[in-house]
A and B are shown apart, each in its own frame.
Chain A
Amino acid sequence: MERHFDEELKGLNSEILRMGSLTEEAIVDSVKALKEQSREMAANVINSDRKIDSLELEIEEKCLTLMALHQPAAVDLRFLTAAMKLNNELERIADLAVDIAQRVLEIVDKPLLKPLVDIPKLCVIAQTMVKESIDAFVNRDIALAKKVVLSDAEADKLRNFVQDELVSEYISKDASTATRAVPLLLIARHLERICDHATNIAEDVIYMVEAKVVKHHPEEL
């Protein structure tokens, strides 16, 4: 039986989808700004964050209203709590994209320290993980959510590789490279944190669908 409540939930679903695509865009643009050394693109990422912030508030208010008015239980309750958590995770992801853009502004006027290879790779992983975690939420796709959780190890590995390379090949050999190397190192760190937030979303999706807690219990996967 279709309920009026289901219409409201569908509306919420599409708002989260919108929040997800804005966030994804912010990640991609922030790394594009780095690749193209574009001050304007970095500034755009920073400015667009206001839109995401206000969408976060809208979604949160909607979730609270639905909880207060419908007193949901079981799968509805798990959906709404997942939506609220996911909303926060997406907002944090967008903030990390802003952090990346700020790092770009710090080095935009200087020549790139080295050709970018691994950071764009890490960006693709982060963007994919965010996209797939949202898709898993929207389609209640457990297999996809599990894939996201398992992808996190790859992101950690790549981040460590970037960090090791920048420290051993540049900073420790020539301290004057630090002003250009540290922002890159931080960008890798921000991207890896984005992957952590996507992992949180995927874990929440698994709880939402299967009522199984996999957070801090990787053996449950």
Chain B
Amino acid sequence: MHNNIKMKAENVDFFYGPRQALKDINLDICEKRVTAIIGPSGCGKSTFIRLLNRMNELIPNTSLKGRILLDGEDIFGQQVDAVGIRRRVGMVFQKPNPFPKSIFENVSYGLHVNGVKDKKLIEKKVVSSLEKAALWDDIKDRLHESALKLSGGQQQRLCIARCLAVEPEVLLFDEPCASLDPISTGKIEELIMELKKYYTIVIVTHNMQQAARISDHTAFFLLGELIEMGKTQDIFTAPKDKRTEDYITGRFG
């Protein structure tokens, strides 16, 4: 991988109580590329992606060893503010989770939280975020309607717009299409391809064809370990590890 490294995991171990969920993970995430994390349920991929913006801290009785770097700086460093990290590293979840507010308020929410008061600036950022999330044309005439009236796919794009409004550098997607139909899935995938021009993207997915279609690099996790990482085209044509091959060809189990 010759690209700039935006995030880096160094010797990461993670525990839920006594149970070790991640074992000595070392992984580079390249800037303005899509990195897909694949692996069977329980392999630690969601746990890993949640570490990348310190969401693990919200779960009691967990512990972390090793370092996670963002632009070379340890995101768990003592001087580092978790809220600041979550602004720089946004997350989109499996199930769209719009707030029970208007479309406009959903997108402007993060700006308010970050203390932005200038109404014109807020409006400008809401519009540009909705445009970047490919939702603007769908909803431009009903910005003040409830976000809950949108379809599942639209709600997911709204959640992406909500992330974009605070101008993150990295976007984390945890199974973003798991609850969407193929058409909405296609739109999110197209959107991710578009967004990688501006953002570094990490996506956890159970859908291997999705990883193959949209990612530049793929990491395969199994039982808390990183088994193999490489260019997506290499992983899907000629993986080096037998376990990777068994998983992506469906022989696993």
A6 to chain B: closest residue by CB: B251
In the complex, B236 has a CB within 8 A of chain A? yes
Would you give the shortest CB distance from B151 to chain A, in whole angstroms?
A: 27
Question: Are the C-beta atoms of A1 and B253 separated by less than 8 Å?
Answer: yes
Mask, B108-150, CB within 8 Å of A = 1, is: 0000000000000000000000000000000000000000000
> B209–A74 contact, CB under 8 A?
no
Q: Which residues of A contact B253 (CB under 8 A)?
A: 1
Q: Which of A1, A71, A74, A76 has the most CB of B within 10 A?
A: A74
Residues on B lying within 8 angstroms of A by beta carbon are: 208-209, 212, 236-239, 244-245, 248-253
Give residues in A with beta carbon < 8 Å to B: 1, 3, 5, 71-78, 211
B239 touching A74, Cβ below 8 Å:
yes
B239 surroundings in chain A (CB, below 8 A): 74
A-B contact pairs, 14 of them (CB 8 A): A3-B250, A3-B251, A73-B212, A73-B249, A74-B236, A74-B237, A74-B238, A74-B244, A74-B245, A74-B248, A75-B245, A78-B237, A78-B238, A211-B238
Distance in angstroms between the alpha carbons of A73 and B209 in the assembled complex: 9
Q: Which 10 A-B pairs have the closest CB atoms?
A: A211-B238, A73-B248, A73-B236, A1-B253, A74-B245, A76-B249, A74-B249, A74-B239, A74-B248, A1-B251
Contact B251–A73 (Cβ < 8 Å): no
Across chains A and B, the number of contacting residue pairs, with CB separation under 8 Å, is 31
Most buried by A among B238, B245, B253: B238
* Contact A72:B249 (CB < 8 A) given known A78-B238, A211-B238: yes
Contacts of B252 in A (CB 8 A): 1
- Assembled-state Cα–Cα distance A8/B125 (Å): 54
Say how far A157's CB is from chain B's closest CB, in angstroms: 35
Interchain CA distance A151-B253 in the complex, whole Å: 42
A1-B251, A75-B249 given; name 8 further pairs at CB < 8 Å.
Answer: A1-B252, A73-B237, A73-B249, A74-B249, A77-B236, A77-B237, A78-B238, A211-B238
Please report the C-alpha to C-alpha distance between residue A141 and residue B124 in the assembled complex, in whole angstroms: 64
Give Cα A78 to B236, complex, Å: 10
